[in-house]
Structures are given as C-alpha cells and as structure tokens.
Chains A and B, each alone.
Chain A
Amino acid sequence: MRSSSRTALCTLAIVATATLLALCFNQWRPTPLAWVRTEAFVPAPAPAPAQPSPQAPSTAAPETPTSPAAEAPTPAPAEDQTPPHAEPAPAMQSPAPMMENAPQTEPAEAQTTPEAPVSDASQQPQEAAQAAPPETPVAQETASAQAEEPAAALSVADALQLHLSGQAVFLDARDPDTYAQGHIPGALCVPPTELDRLWPQIAPHIEGKTVVTYCDGELCPLSEELAEALRARGVSTVLVFVNGWSLWQDEHLPTTTGLNP
C-alpha cells in the first residue's frame, strides 16, 4: 500500500474512532445532545425585534408579543431566520417550537432575563395569550415563556426611539478597542468585566433612566452579561438591544468613534 494512502486511511481511522467514542459518550450522558441540530441557537431576540417595525415604533418592546398570541396562525420552521420586515406571525412563531424542542439545552440562553425589567411587560402578553386561545396546548405552554423574552429585547426602531427621546442610556458591552472604532452616539463603553471598576463613573449617568445594553452579533453574550450584572446591582430597567451594533449600522444610523465621552 502506498504510504500516502496509508496516512489518509489512518487519519480517517482516528476520526472514526473519535466519532465512535463521541457516539458512545453521548449516549451514555443523561441528556444526550442531538447529533443534527434542528433548531436555531438564537432564542427569541432575533425574530422578536422584527415585530414592531411595521407598526408604530413609539410603543416599547413589551407590546410586541400581543399580536403573535392573538394571531398565531401559521406554524413556522424552527430555524426561521426572519428578515427584519417579514410577516409578523412567522417571526413570532419561531421561538415557540424552539422552546419545546430544546428545553434542557437552550433555556438558559433563552430566559436569561426572567425578570422583565418593565413591570407590565410580561402581564400584557399573558393576558393576550389567555384572551385568544392558542391552537395547540403546547403553544399555550410556550406562550408565557415566549412572552417574557421579547420584553427585554429591542428592535432597531425601539432603540432609536429610546435614543432620540433621551430617556435611555446606551451601554456598549464590547471591548474598548472595538468601541473606539465606532459606536452608537452617546453610548458608554462598559465591558461586563469592567463594570465593577467603571460603576462609580456610570452610576450617575444611568440613574433614573432606561439602560440599553448592546454588543455585536445575534449570539454575542456580552450585552446579556452586562444586563445581568446591572440587574444584580439593582438597576431596574435594563433592555438588551440584541445584535445592536449590526442592526444600528444596517439602518445607517449615525455612529461615533473615539473613547468614552
């Protein structure tokens, strides 16, 4: 046998052995991971912000879940990566199958904001869910869980509204270098790891205001971490602008460069 083909064969054998070991180990685990992932990673935040954009953006994020619960007609695939201006119903449906399919893997991600910052945020959608009975019992179960999430997730329109109103302070959770290269005007650079150090400086800024945290990428954990840390410090109204920097740039909204003002 040629040695090059022998090397290739051995390489394949190593990979096959690793796969076999992984297969056995995964079966042995109490909660095996599905080998082929059928549901998307992003829980509610990605599709959720799509909802308010066709409507008047003046209403805050908490409003968003009402219509899906009321309408909820068409089932959407779990991996539905809805474009920002898609039909509202599929956009909001997508979290539901996700929640039922992956209860043990992703809820930690999905419900990192169990305590909705705005008090009426979770009540409103729940009322709506009860008023308009969902089509399946599963949908009913997930409706309440689903309702909590978008409460903390912002659409671009909402974020812009908050930004223009001056009621909100934007906190950029990315690292200072990236922040310096470009950020939402007026945003303060607060990486989650630096919060303790920066707290005395930012505390006066955010007092009595809504705090909006953002970073970049739908799966970026930094804004969520920062929001959690802020809530732990007793900041009541913290909203997460998921994928904020990309969405902000996509809309060609003004940006600034440089370090903290």
Chain B
Amino acid sequence: MSALSAYRYLRYFLAVVLIAAVPHKLLDPAGFALAIARYDLVPTAAVNAIALVLPWLEALLAILLVCDVLIGPALWLANLLFAGFATSIAIAMARGIDIDCGCFTTGTTGSMLFALVRDVIFLVAGIILALIYARVIAPSRAVTPAETSEESDPGESKPEDAPATAQDPEAPSAS
C-alpha cells in the first residue's frame, strides 16, 4: 500500500471512529458527564464543560480529517484525545474502578480491557497517520506553488512544515 492511500484510508478510519463516538455524547450530555465523573480524574466543576465540548471537538476533528484540512493540528488533537482516553481507562483499571468507558455508548458495562485495547489501536493509527503526514505528505505539499503562494513569507514556507509536523508524533508520547 502506498503511503498516499494509507494516508487516505487512515484518515477515513479515524474520522469514522471519531464520528461514531459523537451521537450518544451529544444526545445525552448529562449521561456522558456522569460517565466522565465516574473516572474520578477531573474536578467535578470541569466535568460538564468537558462533556459538552468533547463531542463537538470529535466531530470537528472528523470533518477536518475527511476534508484533509488543517491535518497537522487535527492529528495533534486527535492523538492527544486518544492518548487521554487510553490513559484515563488505564488509570481507572489500575485503581480497580469498574465503570462504563463512555466511549461509544453510555450505560453499557463492557470490558475495560477491551476499551483500552481498542483505544490503543486508534492511538497507534493516529500516530502512524501523523508520521505519514510529517514524512511524506507535508513535504510534498510544502513545495507546491498553491501552498507557497498562501504563505505570508514565501521564503520561509519550505522549512516551515517540517518542525510543525515533527511535533505530531510526539504529542501522544508526551501525554
């Protein structure tokens, strides 16, 4: 599989994953807030805000991934999200809290281990996508005239994307 098609399919895959996680959170913010609270990780005051913003953030990221717009920041955020989810689930498991993961449905009590493994797979996919983007896609785009003409400073446009995209794969490992 060429890097280009891998790039495309991974984008679609992550977009579908993100979109699939949206409806239940959007329709039942209170239930999702409770699911977050059960993790016992964030202060109670912040729970509602997270429950309200998270589904929209996921939806927005999915749209950006599908449309191939602002992929750098979108991947950065998506990987941060997946890493955050995986960490939360792992912490909950380590503390022996047996809860609904709140990932794709609310109210069901599935296996935490399954949720964790699933999330790590998403995270790995996100990291691979970020790597492909940083190594292959971004450099090829940096030299296209259409891109460079939009830059504020054409002289700086070429080395510009390299450090930015190099950050992407680092994001999950840092968090």
B99 on the A face (CB < 8 A): yes
A18 on the B face (CB < 8 A): yes
**Nearest Cβ on chain B to A79's Cβ, whole angstroms:** 6
Stretch at the interface among A123-131, A162-170, A201-209, A213-221: A213-221
- B160 engages A10 (CB within 8 Å): no
B94 on the A face (CB < 8 A): no
**Nearest Cβ on chain B to A127's Cβ, whole angstroms:** 33
**Nearest Cβ on chain B to A171's Cβ, whole angstroms:** 15
Chain A positions within 8 Å of B51 at CB level: 33
- B48 engages A37 (CB within 8 Å): yes
B172 on the A face (CB < 8 A): no
Known: A18-B57, A19-B53. A217 touches B160 (CB 8 A): no
Which parts of B114-173 form the interface with A (CB within 8 Å)?
A: 152, 160-164, 167
Contact of A21 (CB < 8 Å), options: B47, B60, B76, B96: B60
Q: How many residues of B contact A (CB 8 A)?
A: 44
Chain A positions within 8 Å of B162 at CB level: 3
Which of B37, B52, B77, B99 has the most chain A CB within a 10 Å cutoff? Answer: B52
Chain B positions within 8 Å of A192 at CB level: 109
- A26 engages B34 (CB within 8 Å): no
- A37 engages B44 (CB within 8 Å): yes
- B109 engages A217 (CB within 8 Å): no
Q: Chain B: interface secondary structure? A: helix
Known: A14-B73, A14-B77. A216 touches B97 (CB 8 A): yes
A222 on the B face (CB < 8 A): yes
Contact of A217 (CB < 8 Å), options: B40, B45, B49, B76: B40
Chain A residue with minimal CB distance to B168?
Answer: A7
Q: In the complex, A4→B160 CA distance in Å?
A: 8
Q: Mark A100-113, 1 if CB is under 8 A from B, else 0.
A: 00001110010000
Residues of B in contact with A (beta carbons under 8 Å apart):
26, 29-30, 33-34, 37-38, 40, 44-49, 51-53, 55-57, 59-61, 64, 70, 72-74, 76-77, 96-100, 109, 111, 152, 160-164, 167
